[in-house]
Amino acid sequence: MKLNLNFEMLSLNVRGIRCFEKRKALFQWFVQQGTDVIFLQETYSTPEVEHIWKSPWKGDMFFGHGTAVHGRGVLVLVKENLVCELKVCKQDKQGRFIIVKGLVQGHSFVFVNIYAPNKGNEQCVYYEEIRKEIDQLPDIDMDCRVIIGGDFNVILDPNLDGSGGNPKLKDSCIKVENICSNLDLIDIWRIRNPGVKRFFWRQKNPTIQR
């Protein structure tokens, strides 16, 4: 069955948006991009700032707060005129993930915004928890679409996803691949950009990119 869907998504690690000027500039940029659903990681949000951040944004905000001012935090922004009915299903207490479930343009969706830990052993536990949380969601049918985005902190192909240093696959990579296999997910960026090397994290000295 062909779906009549038309909405744009974006994911970005913002490394903190408690600064008003930075937050305002980002929100304006999202609007200029015409993006409908935005996943943000490392927001550094806390419950006290929710009403302040919601004020200039015309649309819904779903928060997953971190444990401190400079600790983690994930956020899902939904543009005002997107035809949707969404609600938060689950967010962890560490600001590492948030799961939002509902209808978008009349179709069932689950959005999972993640900010994975850096350490391999913690990642394995983390991705197993993500898998269980999705599996335990209520009222999920065969027509429901699952979209997972965010900062995975893993690479799936050492040749394409790494430059410098010693890029290698972690055990947690298998966990990610299992989630993709179980939910019939694809890496849409890699599908659209086969063979392209592009990096979102860099270390200058020595030069390492992932």
| 84-91, strands of its sheet edge to edge | 84-91, 97-104, 107-115, 145-151
pLDDT reported for residue 142: 81
Q: Whole-model pTM?
A: 0.93
For 78, counting Cβ atoms within 10 Å of its Cβ (0-12 exposed, 13-18 middle, 19+ buried), the class is buried
Q: Domain 9-209 sits in which CATH superfamily?
A: Endonuclease/exonuclease/phosphatase (3.60.10.10)
Distance between CA 26 and CA 11 in Å, rounded?
12
Per-residue pLDDT of the chain in tens (210 residues, 90 and over written 9): 455 688 999 999 999 999 999 999 999 999 999 999 999 999 999 999 999 999 999 999 999 998 777 789 999 999 999 999 999 889 999 999 999 999 999 999 999 999 999 998 999 999 999 999 999 998 787 889 999 999 999 999 999 999 999 888 889 999 999 999 999 999 999 999 999 999 888 899 899 999
Place of tokens 């055990």: 171
pLDDT of residue 4: 64
Domain spans, the chain: 9-209
- The string of DSSP codes covering the chain is --------EEEEE-S---SHHHHHHHHHHHHHHT-SEEEEE-----GGGHHHHHTT-SEEEEEE--SBTTB--EEEEEETTS-EEEEEEEE-TTSSEEEEEEEETTEEEEEEEEE--SSHHHHHHHHHHHHHHHHT-TT--TT-EEEEEEE----S-HHHH-BSS-----HHHHHHHHHHHHHT---HHHHHSTT----S-EETTTTEE-
